[in-house]
A and B are shown apart, each in its own frame.
Chain A
Amino acid sequence: MKLSTFKKGLHPEDYKYFSQDKAIETLALPDDVYIPLQQHIGVPCEPLVQKGDKVKTGQIIANTGAFVSAPVHSSITGVVMDIEKYYHPLGMRATMIHIKREGDEEWELLEKIEDWKWAPKEKLIQTIRNAGIVGLGGATFPTHVKLSPPDDKAIDSFILNGVECEPYLTSDDRLMIEQADKILEGMAIMMRILDVQKGYIGIENNKPRAIAQMQKRVVELGYPFKVVPLKVKYPQGAEKMLIYSVLKRHVPANKLPMDVGVVVNNVATAYAISEAIKEAKPLVQRVITVTGDGVNEPKNLMARLGTPFKNLFEACGGVKDDVHLIFMGGPMMGMTQYHLESPVVKGSSGIVAVTGDMVEEVSTFPCIRCGACVHTCPMNLMPLRLSKFSQAKEVTKLEEFGVMSCIECGSCSFICPANIPLVQWIKVGKIRVREAATKKAKEKA
């Protein structure tokens, strides 16, 4: 059977064997957590607690009135030590609430919803917002925003993203194997909110157990969902690629999936929604894969948000001596970490430590115009030209060649035989286009 997929793309070695057989373990509660005020795309939160306050697990400690935002909860029971700038896994220093664990765990739960099938939609959306749920695949876009499309957008399909196309990561895979029921229920809740009939679950074919388990539970529980096995190809987990793979619809440039009647959400998000609606538990923990050949015992851990990465590595038997590179997320789009005090945030799907054997020191050659980047780019762009325009600061050319469509998947840099940092230059190009636009707007004003 020919599996459906999108055009172009590539298949990097997936290295999922380190952790794909490891059941999810719950990490012991950390002594200190560092909770960033912003863990989502949108308006940052304002702290609601002060130094010295006692907080319970699940208590909202930072919030904002803005729509495109999500509150932040304390992930342990303890005392607020300070609100200072600490190392953020995205590379900068950001304001975080430092909480020290004290006493026994006490929960502050959300408002209980008796039966989600009959509860008003507004209430469900409000509960999801109060639970602080954002897209847990890594993009961290607030989920309640995705679930409230404007009235003029008719949504007819819902896709659950279980693709996990990044190498190394296995957290979604394990979650689907172990928590299929909760994921399916979370999906049903979202589809009820959106009033959508057609539900698809996209899973790449290198996760046969997850496909089998989801398929089995869909049939047993009588959900009208379709499990769609997909050909293994990166970057299939990107929204636009997944929509094309499953439904063969093109999301137009600069438009959102809802413009073609689709909403996509990650399996981890569905799990979090089920927890929030059924158990009234806000988002205080997530599954994170600790893996790589530099970790002694790779594991999939259920960790509280704000746990320093150091604790995760300690729970996995430490790292090897010759660790060369540590990054959060997958190797194609992840952020390198230079400080292991950085905490787990809502978007951390994995933390990977690799040794020198895996990272080759490469030298850069001149572009030989082999066209490999053009033949690989899933968005059908010309990375070699975009990177040249970006270096030359040619903003109009950048826009003409569709730089803003770039999803920054890194396929071009991966495939380039000359090792040219293509996607890196394209990212710079995007910043240049945005800067030029703001400058223009200022001049007009």
Chain B
Amino acid sequence: MTELKTPPEEVKEKKIELAPENNIQQAEAEKPKPKPDPRKKLFKSDRMTIVAPAPHNRGRNSVPRIMYTVIATLLPAVIISILLFGNKAMVTIMVAIFSAMVAEYACNKIMKTGLTVDDGSAILTGLLLALTLPPSFPIAGTALGAVVAIVFGKQVFGGLGNNIFNPALLGRAFLQASFPVKITTWTLPAFAASDAVTGATPLGLFKFGHMTEVATNLKPLLLGNVGGCIGETSAIALLIGGIILVALKYADWRIPLSYIGTVLVFSGALWLIDPSVYPNPVFMLLSGGLILGAFYMATDMVTSPVTPKGTWIYGIGMGVVLVVIRIWGGLPEGVMYSILFMNGLVPLLNRWTRPKYFGEIQKENKV
């Protein structure tokens, strides 16, 4: 009975004394401790374990990893554009990236948020902006565009993840409004057939009545040996990067498929109606910034829908807007506006296209 009257504290003490029997605890047991903690007996070090709610393991993916992977998949297009347009392209890209990072850093300091320069999103915005500018664009203008993209495209909304419009395209839209002539002055690539220094883009030629000259010769379009923006001219380089991006699931496959598919179907239907007025759908696909836009701009995670159904609507909507602008609009190119237009609808699409959750509709069960 004496044992049974033992107060609880002593019982606990006894439990602790069991510990020295264990070899891993011997080192610990040699030095007496005023308040022994049973858990520490098992660990040589005083390190605490983590106490957290499940899950305790994490996927390998992270936001910076996504950003830097997208940048890496753009490298083929960047290399080809530097080969085609020379130092001017390289300088524009460097200036855009540098200005974007400086703007991001300044915003972080002014808004007293944590530093977000290293997450890669500012670099990506700068790079994408540079790829949508003509090689001859003035350096000061490039820098200004990058600053606008970061400050008014992203940071005023509260930084990464909160912006409505694609920051790079917003920066370009600003530049297009501010420098309408400079942004449509195209340098022809180094290997272009003619000796001219500047020339029109294939889409511009088509718009202003030279359809037969451009729409029949598609090989230069595929390789990028035409006038145009720094990054949009080589369809092959962009496709390689874009397919890697989709394969890695860093870009939703539905977006390029629905966007490009709609453009092909819509313009193909028009072309079948009257091939002498409307351009070939393959020309529509390869010219201008469609591939760059479909794989890199429209798939920007922040400004695209999260639901599968919303994503289809988003892609189809962009395709329709693009064809309408290119064929009937006042501008030769409409990728930028088609994406910005649908970006504005994304919050609504996310709201309207909530997927039915498992078991929400009672399905007929075979019992």
Contact = CB atoms under 8 A, between A and B. Distances in A.
Contact of B4 (A51, A313, A338, A341): A51
Interface residues of B, number: 61
A17 B140 CA distance: 59
B59 interface: yes
Given A335-B54, A374-B307, A253 B42 contact: no
B243 to A, nearest CB: 19
A384 interface: yes
B362 A252 contact: yes
A331 B4 contact: no
A268 to B, nearest CB: 20
Contacts of B47: 321-324
A145 to B, nearest CB: 21
A331 B357 contact: no
A200 interface: no
Nearest to B67: A368
Nearest to A314: B22
B357 A415 contact: no
Interface of B, helix, strand, loop or mixed by DSSP: loop
B273 interface: no
B8 interface: yes
User: In terms of DSSP, what is the predominant structure of the interface of chain A?
Assistant: loop
Interface in B32-50: 38-39, 42-45, 47, 49-50
A365 B43 CA distance: 33
Given A339-B39, A368-B302, A384-B306, A84 B63 contact: no
B112 interface: no
B360 A402 contact: yes
B358 interface: yes
Nearest to B56: A331
A384 B310 CA distance: 15
A378 interface: yes
A43 to B, nearest CB: 26
Which of A314, A331, A360 has its CB near the most chain B CB atoms (within 10 A)?
A: A314
Contacts of B51: 336, 338
A419 B65 CA distance: 12
B38 A371 contact: no
A156 interface: yes
Given A417-B65, A423-B54, A240 B358 contact: yes
Contacts of A419: 58, 62
Instruction: Please provide the 3 A-B residue pairs with the shortest distance between their CB atoms, ordered closest to farther.
Output: A371-B306, A410-B55, A366-B161
5 contacts: A51-B4, A370-B301, A374-B355, A405-B360, A423-B55
Interface of B: 1, 4, 6, 8, 11, 15, 18, 22-24, 38-39, 42-45, 47, 49-59, 61-66, 119, 159-162, 252, 301-302, 304-308, 311, 350, 354-360, 362-363, 365-367
